[in-house]
Amino acid sequence: MKQKGLLMVISGPSGTGKGTLVKHLLKRNNKIQLSVSATTRKPRPGEVDGVNYFFLNKNEFEEKLTHGEFLEHAEVYGNYYGTPKAFVENQLNRGHNVLLEIDIVGAMQIRKKFKEAVFLFIIPPSLEELQRRIENRGTETPEQMTKRMDSALEEIRELEQYDYVILNDDIDKATGLIESIVKAELASVERSQHYWLDLFGVRR
Amino acid sequence: MKQKGLLMVISGPSGTGKGTLVKHLLKRNNKIQLSVSATTRKPRPGEVDGVNYFFLNKNEFEEKLTHGEFLEHAEVYGNYYGTPKAFVENQLNRGHNVLLEIDIVGAMQIRKKFKEAVFLFIIPPSLEELQRRIENRGTETPEQMTKRMDSALEEIRELEQYDYVILNDDIDKATGLIESIVKAELASVERSQHYWLDLFGVRR
């Protein structure tokens, strides 16, 4: 009997360095892999079906949607994006840990459909550092920056709906914390008890 | 504002190498310290009050017991042993992680009184290895060994009442897993949300 992998859903406001953190984690840890989304948008040059995305036409996507085949989905600029349930479950059953970087709305859709997933919220080290990072992008008016800052703070309030908070101060430390969470979760009684009780032949 | 430390309660059947694991963990990790028990037994040569135990007389112990000052207690060969609540809470409030090695009965007493504690169950790598370890003690009759083996299996069944299962196959791996659990638990939203919401001034 093999233990099932862990589905990790990662969110966090912009300016938290979430994307860089995820890349670093995937590079460093070969037991964690990124989920592949389905989309109706056209492939860009170099994008490979089944690697970057599962490319579907609108009819295909809507049919899968009707059959409940997505853990979450959204429409962005007229294109659908979604997380294919079968792909994720297949990876987890093979014992792989799957990572999904997604916004809060999508994360909460998954929370409802997939109780075993673990929800991680990435936060910046401080208000000042968040402001600095937003300002450093340098392309925005003061008004736009204030708006981004407000929306980041609005999002931080939502951390209550997640399971773990990852402070992204030092990227190696943050990566290590995520790895610790994977190890701890896989050792939780909830996830591992059947395995152990079977191994020792003492299942109730 | 400082984050509170974590109270870890560790149990497991004999033959799991629990004691050695705890020693290794304390030596390697200076952020984890052992809880000091109170007892009515006489100090042995070299034992220091407040370090090895808090030595109390029977009246003192019983009075504290009446006032609910122990997280758990037991009577062994006519002596009382107990975990002083004030000592543990004081350490946790100072941000120290506290480790308590105790049997299942004691652990379940703590479960009732101290919801924030985390319960770790140590198991041997396999039935065969457990048997080998019990046999290697070499001092027992076959009958006594069968009895010890049965009681170990009885205990393993109780892992369902714990939060995490620690496989003690490789001592460094097991120690690392406990350290991962500490990190993960301290980053849990439940334990850290007030800290973060205050830091960003977005407490609801």
Q: Number of A to B CB contacts under 8 A, please give it.
A: 110
Q: Closest Cα partner for B181 from B126, B121, B125?
A: B121
Q: Region A3-13: what's the mean pLDDT?
A: 94
CB A1 within 8 A of CB A148: no
- Identify the CA nearest to A60 among candidates A80, A44, A77: A80
Evaluate if pTM is beyond 0.90.
yes
Q: How many CB atoms within 10 Å of residue B72?
A: 23
d(CA B64, CA B80): 12
Hey, are the CB atoms on B157 and A127 less than 8 Å from each other?
Answer: no
Residue B1: alpha-carbon gap to chain centroid = 27
Please give the average per-residue pLDDT across A78-84, as a whole number. 96
Q: Which fold has domain A7-35+96-199?
A: Rossmann fold (3.40.50)
Positive or negative CA dihedral for A128, A129, A131, A136? Answer: positive
pLDDT score of A39: 97
Distance spanning both ends of chain A, measured CA to CA: 18
Fold of B7-35+97-199: Rossmann fold (3.40.50)
Burial of residue A50, with CB atoms counted within 10 A of its CB: 0-12 exposed, 13-18 middle, 19 or more buried: exposed
HSE (side-chain half, CA atoms, 13 Å) at B142: 0
- Chain B 109-168, CB below 8 Å of chain A: which residues? 121, 123, 126-127, 153-154, 156-157, 159-160, 162-167
Q: What is the pLDDT of residues B42-63, one digit of tens each?
A: 999 999 999 999 999 999 999 9
pLDDT at A134 over 90: no
Q: Would you say residue B140 has pLDDT above 80? A: no
Give CA torsion, residues B83, B122, B160, B111, to 10 deg: 10
B172 Cβ under 8 Å from any chain A Cβ: no
Q: Average pLDDT of B91-107? A: 95
φ, ψ for residue A83, nearest 5 deg? -105, 110
**A86 interface with B at CB cutoff 8 Å:** no
- The reported pLDDT for the residue numbered B204 is 67
DSSP string, B26-80: HHH-TTEEEPPEEE-SPPPTT--BTTTEEE--HHHHHHHHHTT-EEEEEEETTEE
User: CB burial class (10 A; 0-12, 13-18, 19+) of residue B180?
Assistant: buried
- Which chain B residues touch A123 with a CB distance below 8 Å? 196, 200
Say if residue A2's pLDDT is above 70: yes
For residue A189, the model assigns a pLDDT of 97
Q: Distance from CA of residue A105 to its chain's centroid?
A: 12
pLDDT at B190 over 80: yes
What was the pLDDT predicted at B76? 93
ipTM, two decimals? 0.91
A166–B187 CB contact, under 8 Å? yes
Lowest mean pLDDT among A31-45, B30-44, B93-107, B144-158: B144-158
For A34-45, how does the pLDDT look when each residue is reduced to its tens digit (9 = 90+)?
Answer: 999 999 999 999
End-to-end CA separation in angstroms for chain B: 18
What is the rounded average pLDDT of the residues B74-81?
95
CB neighbourhood size of B34 (10 A): 13
Best of B196, B197, B198, B203 to disrupt the A interface (most A CBs within 10 Å) is B196
Helix axes A127-136, A142-157, angle to 10 degrees: 140
Asked if pLDDT for residue A80 goes beyond 90, the answer is yes
Question: Chain A closest CA to B167's CA: distance in Å?
Answer: 9
Q: Nearest to residue B153, comparing CAs of B9, B56, B15?
A: B15
Return d(Cα B94, Cα B2) in angstroms, integer: 8
What is the average pLDDT score of chain B?
A: 93
Interface check for B186 against chain A (CB to CB < 8 A): the answer is no
Say yes or no for a CB contact (<8 Å) between A196 and B153.
Answer: no
| Domain spans in chain A, listed from the N-terminal domain onward | 7-35+96-199
Q: Is the pLDDT score of A1 beyond 70?
A: no
The H or E element spanning position B167 is strand B164-167
